[in-house]
Amino acid sequence: MEILVTGILLSGTYALIALGLTLQYGVARIMNLANGETLVAGCFVAFWLYASFAISPIYGLLIIAPAAFALNWAIYRFALRPLVNRAKNRGMLEVDSILATFGLLFLLQGLMLLSFGGEYFSYTFLAERFVLFGSAYGLNRVVAFAAAVVIALALYLFLYHTRHGTAVRAVAADPTSANLVAIDVARTAAFAFALGGALTACGGALLSTFYTFNASMGVVFTMKALIIVIMGGVGDIRGAVLAALILGVAETAVASLIDPGLTLAATYTLFILVLLFRPQGIFGRQTT
Amino acid sequence: MTAAPILSVNRAQKKFGGLIAVNDVSFDVKQGELLGLIGPNGSGKTTMLNLISGALKPTAGEIALGGKAISGLAAHHIARRGVSRTFQLVRVLPSLDAEGNVMAGAVFGHRRLWGEEARELAHRLLERVGLAGKAHAPVAAMTYIDQKRLELARALASDPRLLLLDEWLAGLNPSELKIGISLIDELRHEGRTIIMVEHVMDAIRTLCDRCVVMSSGVKIAEGGVAETLSDSEVIRAYLGDDDA
Amino acid sequence: MNLTSHEIRIGLAGAAVAALAATLPLFDQGYYLSISVNIMLYAALCTAWTLFSGPTHYISLATAAFFGLGTYSVGLWINHLPYPVLVGIAALVSASLAGLVGAATLRLSGVYFVIFTLGLAELVRQLVTWAQAKFTTRMGLYVFTDMTEEHIYWMLLALTVAVFITGWAINRSRLGFAMQVIGNDETVAKHVGIDTARAKIVLFMVSGAFIGIAGAISAPRYAYIEPPSAFNPMISFLVVIMALLGGTKRLWGPLVGVVPFTIVMDIVSARFPNHTSIVIGLAFLAIVYFIPNGVTGLIEQARAKWQARQTAVGEEKAA
């Protein structure tokens, strides 16, 4: 039970990060391998706001989200759009975007290493006991989870109940047809990429309240997010949330029952199972 | 002809989600026969061809080549058993020359030749389809009919037991069409077993021994060309849909 | 086997270059030998990487995993088995891992493959660390041999030559022809009877085996092997950068990237150790935006342009 609750609490932040990536890959068709760096940047900014200005990470989201939105929009507009335009086919764009986002990954990581060094950081925020089903959990984890749920719900409402959100989903489903019904595909893609970055940064800010972080841990989170996205099915919101839950619980279970050093092995086992049996994702349907 | 059929399709079905593209289609193709597979656009002809060549796996039903089931096998296994095909939108291998394109068919398919043997066969076939002297020409710069010829030579290179032509004549101008039809006619006289999906009705009338008509995923008629094309249901299926 | 005169000429030129490279340790035993060992190591790794990633365009980040398995194979059994046997084991273990990874991912699109290999070294590292902690008492392994830097240099040179010969043999084989067809059009490849997944897996295994051997050869250099250094993910990224920088269309292309970039990285890590990530990031971006076909691609483009201009000039004169 304790494992289950800890796992679920962890999965809230995972879900946000994965939702960010699934928007970027599903709508903008860019496999953003620098996603984890956006997350780490979110961690550091939240830390900086809290340590220097005593701004609570929750209010910090109001600064972090728009900043990350703007930064990711700029990255898409100036670094990635040229690749989209020059690619002759999907395969070429895939290779180019992978290499370009690798470049961003190292560049951002290098800049953060320069500014913050390689040490681990953490800060104390709401480190109180919170009793749930007879066991105690960190209040910060519970608050982070609640905030993640609120953000994910807002995203869901936006995507499924607004005009703009429907346009985003249309581009995810089929860019050519979306173009035919007068949706500005290029703008929607840029918007989705930026929104994805904002979600990921929020995930990072929330993560920093209960997790020790350092400048070079981004890649591990990119991995996890990618696996969640693939498990859930690319561009699938419900799938990503469910996959995040599964991953969070599986990781917590392996860490507490077998060995904390084997979390990646747990992630990979899930990944292999998905690749072998449902490469199109949990809810995915084989395309014609 | 009472010989066992080369290909027998038995109640083949293909569903894409809720859409049934091919529903319960059965027919046989005998050794040396040229079967026309016709029908209006979207009637499931190309899907049927994809089921035979293994590009798609049937949802239900069985397809057998020479009495052995091939349905559900991967495309490369089916190719090695002796089914070769051309593509609706011509597909040549642009970084290889004409010789290399044809050798690709000879090296990996039903016959698996290698080295000089494959090269010689490629040259014979290039000559056979009318591309003599163009063995080292860059294929991307070839005319449309030459690319189609090249694709045919590649399909023939494996010495297939069954040849599938997917709208091989589409897009040719009248004089090219005449060349194309006589080329297929020669293949038929050599004893090749062929299924051709085609919209060019003249070609169907001149070439085919029999034809199968599909509409909305089901087989609506089968038999000799003349009587099938005058069948009232066939006429109804075509009118309004497609005036070929 | 019949060789054309062109092939014989290239073979002789290659042999001459290799022979010249082999004399290098006679001139210097210090800094230049040490950096030459690095260059030779990356030459072997990058050509082995290109063997697979060149024709398939799949970006493999599994190099560190294969390399680490190679060094570990030596570290674990150096006191029990003769060294050549260990090199063989390294090749086998790496090829097996490549086979497993390939079977799981190479049927799917390239993204899955990149992602899978991205975490592979880290996964193997976690498993090895865990197994060591559980079944042994120490964290690392000592490798004591009487091999010197020169020996390692020569072995790596021999390995690079072996990769080239293998690459040439593959190009002449059915597998090489199959890869050419797959590179042109995978659908056609399947329909002419090529088992595309198998061809890719076999090639990935060959490439992985060579990388594993490179790890085994490098093991005596480290003297003490522990998971974080043996499975250093940086190796994977450096190999990708160097190979792409040189160009992957020809097997010798990566060499053009290996020599300058190994030297640059050596200087950067000695003088600006905090800037390595930034340099790597910029290198990736430079490749994508400015030299997508590598330096050899640039040269070929320039040559094609020059030839086109020559013929144009010739035609003008004729007219």
CB-based contact A251:A3 (threshold 8 Å): no
pLDDT for C311: 74
Classify residue C176 as exposed, middle or buried by CB count within 10 Å of its CB (0-12, 13-18, 19+): middle
Instruction: Tell if the CB–CB gap between B95 and C184 is shorter than 8 Å.
Output: yes
The answer for C 177-196 residues in CB contact with B (under 8 A) is 177-178, 180-181, 183-185, 187-196
Instruction: Tell if the CB–CB gap between C123 and A268 is shorter than 8 Å.
Output: yes
Return mean pLDDT, chain A: 83
pLDDT for C174: 92
Least confident of A137-146, B34-43, B142-151: A137-146
pLDDT band at A159 (very low <50, low <70, confident <90, very high): confident
Q: pLDDT digit string (tens) for C228-243?
A: 888 888 899 999 999 9
- For residue C187, the chain B residue with the least C-alpha distance is B55
Mean pLDDT to the nearest integer, B151-166: 93
CATH 3.40.50.300 is right for the domain spanning B7-82+161-238: yes
Instruction: Tell if the CB–CB gap between A106 and C104 is shorter than 8 Å.
Output: no
Task: Name the residue ranges covered by the structural domains of chain C.
Answer: 11-292
Report the share of chain B in percent with pLDDT over 70. 96
pLDDT for C20: 85
- For residue B14, the chain A residue with the least C-alpha distance is A288
pLDDT band at B244 (very low <50, low <70, confident <90, very high): very low
> Which chain A residues are within 8 Å of B17, Cβ to Cβ?
285, 288
> Which chain B residues are within 8 Å of A288, Cβ to Cβ?
16-17, 19
Mean pLDDT to the nearest integer, C16-27: 84
- For residue B57, the chain A residue with the least C-alpha distance is A288
Residue A240: pLDDT above 60?
Answer: yes
pLDDT band at C135 (very low <50, low <70, confident <90, very high): confident
pLDDT for C2: 64
**CB neighbour list of residue B152: distance below 8 Å, 6 or more residues apart:** B86, B129, B165, B168, B183
Q: With left for phi above 0 and alpha for psi between -120 and 50, is residue B3 left, alpha or beta?
A: beta
Alpha helices by DSSP H, listed for C137-194, are 149-172, 174-184, 186-191
pLDDT for A286: 45
Least confident of A160-174, B7-21, B205-219, C77-91: A160-174
pLDDT for A126: 66
- Strands A129-132, B19-29: parallel, antiparallel or unpaired by DSSP? unpaired
Among B49, B76, B114, B163, which would you mutate to test the C interface (most chain C Cβ atoms within 10 Å of its Cβ)? B76
DSSP string, chain A: -HHHHHHHHHHHHHHHHHHHHHHHHHTS----TTHHHHHHHHHHHHHHHHHHH---HHHHHHHHHHHHHHHHHHIIIIIIHHHHHH-SSHHHHHHHHHHHHHHHHHHHHHHHHHHH-S--B---SS--EEEETTEEEEHHHHHHHHHHHHHHHHHHHHHHHSHHHHHHHHHHH-HHHHHHTT--HHHHHHHHHHHHHHHHHHHHHHHHTTS-B-TT-HHHHHHHHHHHHHHH-TT-HHHHHHHHHHHHHHHHHHHHHT-GGGHHHHHHHHHHHHHHH-TT-SS-----
Residue B98: pLDDT above 60?
Answer: yes
pLDDT band at A124 (very low <50, low <70, confident <90, very high): confident
Phi, psi of C82 (to 5 degrees): -65, 150
Q: C5: number of CA atoms within 13 Å, CB side?
A: 0
Chains touching chain A through at least 3 C-beta pairs below 8 angstroms are: B, C
In the block, tokens 């990503």 appear at A240
Report the share of chain A in percent with pLDDT over 70. 93
> Which chain C residues are within 8 Å of B162, Cβ to Cβ?
none
| CA distances in angstroms from A62 to A44, A145, C37, C311, listed in the order given | 15, 17, 53, 64
Q: pLDDT digit string (tens) for A30-84?
A: 888 888 899 999 988 888 888 888 788 788 888 888 999 999 999 888 888 888 8
pLDDT for B58: 92
Host H or E run for residue B38: strand B34-38
Return mean pLDDT, chain B: 88
Distance, CA of C317 to CA of C301 (rounded, Å)? 24
pLDDT band at C318 (very low <50, low <70, confident <90, very high): low
| CA distances in angstroms from A153 to A150, A195, C239, C254, listed in the order given | 5, 14, 43, 49
Phi, psi of A268 (to 5 degrees): -65, -40
pLDDT for A261: 76
Least confident of A238-252, B179-193, C137-151: C137-151
Among the partner-chain residues A94, A110, A272, the one whose CB lies closest to the CB of C111 is A94
Among the partner-chain residues C112, C129, C275, the one whose CB lies closest to the CB of A110 is C275
Pairs of residues, one from chain B and one from chain C, whose beta carbons lie less than 8 Å apart: 67
Task: Name the residue ranges covered by the structural domains of chain B.
Answer: 7-82+161-238
In angstroms, what separates the C-alpha of A110 from chain C's closest C-alpha? 5
Higher-scoring residue by pLDDT: C163, A143: C163
C→A interface, C-beta within 8 Å = 57, 59, 104-105, 108-112, 114-116, 118-119, 122-123, 126-127, 129-130, 133-134, 233, 237, 240, 244, 274-285, 287-289, 292
Among the partner-chain residues A91, A103, A268, the one whose CB lies closest to the CB of C285 is A103
CB-based contact C271:A106 (threshold 8 Å): no
Mean pLDDT to the nearest integer, A18-37: 87
Chains touching chain C through at least 3 C-beta pairs below 8 angstroms are: A, B
Among A280, A283, A285, A288, which would you mutate to test the B interface (most chain B Cβ atoms within 10 Å of its Cβ)? A288
pTM over 0.95: no
Among the partner-chain residues B54, B95, B108, the one whose CB lies closest to the CB of C192 is B108
DSSP string, B187-239: HHHTT--EEEE-S-HHHHHHH-SEEEEEETTEEEEEEEHHHHHH-HHHHHHHT
DSSP string, B68-122: EE-TTS-HHHHHHHTEEE--SS----TTSBHHHHHHHHHHHSSS---THHHHHHH
Chains touching chain B through at least 3 C-beta pairs below 8 angstroms are: A, C
Phi, psi of B122 (to 5 degrees): -60, -45
In the block, tokens 């490179």 appear at C214
| CA distances in angstroms from C13 to B15, C19, C260, listed in the order given | 59, 10, 22
Among C108, C115, C127, C291, which would you mutate to test the A interface (most chain A Cβ atoms within 10 Å of its Cβ)? C115
In angstroms, what separates the C-alpha of C279 from chain A's closest C-alpha? 8
B147 touches chain C (CB under 8 A): no
- For residue B109, the chain C residue with the least C-alpha distance is C193
CATH 1.10.3450 is right for the domain spanning C11-292: no
Among B14, B15, B16, which would you mutate to test the A interface (most chain A Cβ atoms within 10 Å of its Cβ)? B16
Instruction: Tell if the CB–CB gap between B91 and C183 is shorter than 8 Å.
Output: no
> Which chain B residues are within 8 Å of C190, Cβ to Cβ?
54-55, 74-76, 79
Mean pLDDT to the nearest integer, A162-175: 83
- Report ipTM (2 d.p.): 0.89
Least confident of A232-236, A273-277, C137-141: C137-141
Instruction: Tell if the CB–CB gap between A31 and C277 is shorter than 8 Å.
Output: no
Residue A287: pLDDT above 50?
Answer: no
Q: Find residue B138's DSSP bridge partners.
A: B97
> Which chain A residues are within 8 Å of C276, Cβ to Cβ?
110
In the block, tokens 């930064």 appear at A71
- For residue B105, the chain C residue with the least C-alpha distance is C192
Instruction: Tell if the CB–CB gap between C127 and A262 is shorter than 8 Å.
Output: yes
